[in-house]
Amino acid sequence: MKRSFTTLTDATLITAVVQIGYGEVITNALLEIGIQGSTIHAAMGVGIRERLGALGVAVDAEREVVSVMVSSDEVDRIFERIFLAAKLDVPGMGFMYATPLLQAATFVPPSILSKYAGQ
């Protein structure tokens, strides 16, 4: 059997760097609207807040990074959902960004491929 792969070209990666515990909050908010497959991983950062801790005590710089690949036409809706779930309108809660992807590849079921063949 010949191996082949399908690339997705109309995709965007949304990444949010948030406070510990908000990765799961974001994932649950995405599941509520049918978005699956987000990835959460731990991160450690060093910034100005760490140096400005009370009485010189270091501020906790641990974060969670949530990444989710979405169709480019869904970016605005999902970006807003993550922003609100992570409370990114509150200072110090984190930040997020969207990156257009040139190509992405994963297993795509044959039933999906045949549905979009020739488009």
- CA 114 vs. chain centroid, Å, equals 29
User: Does the structural domain 9-103 have CATH classification 3.30.70.120?
Assistant: yes
List, run by run, the mean pLDDT of 10-residue segments along the chain (119 residues): 83 96 97 94 75 55 94 96 97 94 88 76
How confident is the model at residue 100, as a pLDDT? Answer: 97
pTM here is 0.81
pLDDT for position 59: 55
Q: According to the model, what pLDDT value does residue 20 have?
A: 94
The whole-number pLDDT of residue 49 equals 56
Q: So what's the pLDDT on residue 83?
A: 98
Residue 8's CB is within 10 A of a number of other CB atoms, namely: 14
Predicted pLDDT of residue 69? 96
